[in-house]
Amino acid sequence: MPILEQIIASLPSGQVKEVRIGLHWTAVVVETAGEIRCGLAATLHDGHRHRDEPDVPQAGGLENTSANELAGWATGALPVMASLGLAAINALLPRQPQLWDDENASEIIARFGAGKRVAMVGRFRFAAELMPRVGELLVLEQDPGPDDLPAEAAPEVLPAADVVAITGMTISNHTLEGLLSLCNPRATVILLGPSTPLSPVLFDYGVDVISGAVVTDIEPVLRLVSQGGNFRQVHRIGVRLVNLYKSSAPFSQK
Q: Read off the pLDDT of residues 98-123 as tens digits, 9 standing for 90 and up.
A: 999 999 999 999 999 999 999 999 99
Q: What is the mean pLDDT of the chain?
A: 92
How many angstroms separate the CA atoms of 196 and 208, rounded?
A: 13
Q: What is the pLDDT of residue 249?
A: 53
Best CATH choice for the domain 98-253 from the list 1.10.645.10, 3.40.605.10, 3.40.50.261, 3.40.50.11590: 3.40.50.11590
pLDDT for the residue 252: 34
Per-residue model confidence (pLDDT) at position 48: 56
Checking if the pLDDT of 243 tops 70, the result is yes
- Whether 217 has a pLDDT exceeding 70, the answer reads yes
- Angle at CA 191, nearest 5°, toward 149 and 137? 35
Long-range (24+ apart) CB contacts under 8 A made by 232-239 are: 234/25, 234/40, 234/194, 235/194, 239/40, 239/194, 239/213, 239/214, 239/215
Q: How confident is the model at residue 54 (pLDDT cuts 50, 70, 90)?
A: confident
Residue 242 near residue 101, CB atoms below 8 Å: yes
pLDDT at 226 over 70: yes
Cα distance between residue 200 and residue 143, in whole Å: 30
Q: Any idea which of 57-71, 159-173, 224-238 has the lowest mean pLDDT?
A: 57-71
- The pLDDT-based confidence of 45 (bands split at 50, 70, 90) is confident
Residue 179 contacts residue 168 (beta carbons within 8 Å): no
Phi/psi-derived region of residue 134, left when phi > 0, alpha when psi is between -120 and 50, beta in every other case: beta
Q: Are 221 and 28 in contact (CB under 8 A)?
A: no
pLDDT above 80 for 198: yes
pLDDT at 251: 45
pLDDT at residue 196 tops 60: yes
For the cut 90, the answer to whether the pLDDT of residue 47 exceeds it is no
Average pLDDT of the segment spanning 69-79:
94
pLDDT at 11 over 60: yes
pTM above 0.85, yes or no: yes
Domain ranges of the chain: 3-95, 98-253
How far is the C-alpha of 68 from the C-alpha of 43, rounded, in Å?
A: 19
CATH 3.10.450.50 fits 3-95, yes or no: no
Amino acid at 254: K
The per-residue pLDDT for 201 is 96
Confidence grade of residue 50 (pLDDT, cut at 50, 70, 90): low
Give 112-116's long-range contacts (Cβ < 8 A, gap of 24+).
112/162, 112/163, 112/188, 112/190, 112/250, 112/253, 113/137, 113/162, 113/163, 116/162, 116/163
Average pLDDT over residues 115-144: 95
> Cβ distance 237 to 224 under 8 Å?
yes
